[in-house]
């Protein structure tokens, strides 16, 4: 049954409530890292980096299936799961940038991976079409041509990840009772 019809299902609601809380936790940890980047590198405002951002061409993870109108729950879930997987890898660049906060970044990677597999598990439990991801999709670490680009890259990854989580959170809340 399409996901939307299952909104009344108790297990599905429990899944939604749990992972809404999980998403809030992850958003809080991303915000904490954004404060570290601001304090450490004085990179705090995205509007000051629009020009150099074009150099880096850090693309956002699109969640168009999660936006209204045309909200498509199953496709949205797949996009959230894939996006979490992508950010799990991208955060490696942040890990390199903030060695003294490795614990927080690694926790973030673990949380992103857990949330992604929670969604994958729920889709499988509901018998939805699933694309299974290779467990470790570690592309080559991005090579920055300067420390400044690396710092800006880290800042933008976290900013994009925060926006991604905000959209994912609204989608989950839309389905939750």
Partner 1 sequence: LLLLLRLGGTLGCASVEVGSPVVPLGSAVTASCSVRSRLCRGLQGGRARISWMLDNETVAGSQGCGGGDTEVSNLTLPQFNRTQAKLWCWVEWNGTKQRVGLAEIRAGYPPAKPSNLSCLLNLSDYGLTCRWQPGADSLLPTSVVLKCSTSRAPAVTGCTPQGGRSHCTVPRRLLQLYGQMEIWVAASNALGTAESERLRLDPMDVAQLEPPALRSIQSVPPQTDCVTLAWAVAPSSAHMELWCELRYRPPEDPNWVLVTGIVGQAGTAQCCGLLFGTPYLFQMRCRRHSARGHWSEWSAARNHTTHE
- To partner 1, the closest distance from the beta carbon of 28 in angstroms equals 5
In the bound state with partner 1, the residue whose beta carbon lies nearer, of 100 and 145, is: 145
Least Å distance, CB 89 to partner 1, is 7
Q: State which residue, 69 or 131, has the beta carbon closest to partner 1.
A: 131
Residue 26 dihedral angles phi and psi, to the nearest 5°: -65, -40
Cα torsion angle, 106, 53, 41, 43, sign? negative
Residue 83: HSE in the Cβ half-sphere, 13 Å Cα cutoff: 24
121 CB neighbour count, 10 Å cutoff = 12
By beta-carbon proximity to partner 1, the closer residue of 5 and 14 is: 14
- Smallest gap from Cβ 156 to partner 1, in A, equals 9
User: Measured from the CB of residue 23, what is the shortest distance to partner 1 in angstroms?
Assistant: 8
List interacting residues with partner 1 (CB under 8 A).
14, 17-19, 21-22, 24-25, 27-28, 41-43, 47-52, 54-59, 61-62, 82-83, 86, 89-90, 93, 106-107, 110-111, 114-115, 117-118, 120-121, 139, 142-149, 151-153, 157
* Distances, alpha carbon 49 to alpha carbons 32, 44, 134, 157, in Å: 20, 10, 34, 13
By CB atoms closer than 10 A (0-12, 13-18, 19+), residue 63 is buried
């Amino acid at each position: 049954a399409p996901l939307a019809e299952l909104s009344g299902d108790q297990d599905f609601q429990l899944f939604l409530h749990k992972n809404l809380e999980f998403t809030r936790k992850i958003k809080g940890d991303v915000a904490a890292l954004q404060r570290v980047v601001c304090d450490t590198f004085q990179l705090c405002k995205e509007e000051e980096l629009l020009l150099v951002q074009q150099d880096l061409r850090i693309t956002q993870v699109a969640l168009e299936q999660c936006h209204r109108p045309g909200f498509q729950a199953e496709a949205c879930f797949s996009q959230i799961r894939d996006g979490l997987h992508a950010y799990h890898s991208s955060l490696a660049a942040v890990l390199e940038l903030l060695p003294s906060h490795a614990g927080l970044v690694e926790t973030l990677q673990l949380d992103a991976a857990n949330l992604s597999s929670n969604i994958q598990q729920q889709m499988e439990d509901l018998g939805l079409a699933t694309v299974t991801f290779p467990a470790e999709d570690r592309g080559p670490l991005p090579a920055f041509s300067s420390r400044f680009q690396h710092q800006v890259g880290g800042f933008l990854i976290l900013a994009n990840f925060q926006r991604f989580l905000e959209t994912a959170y609204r989608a989950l809340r839309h389905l939750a009772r």
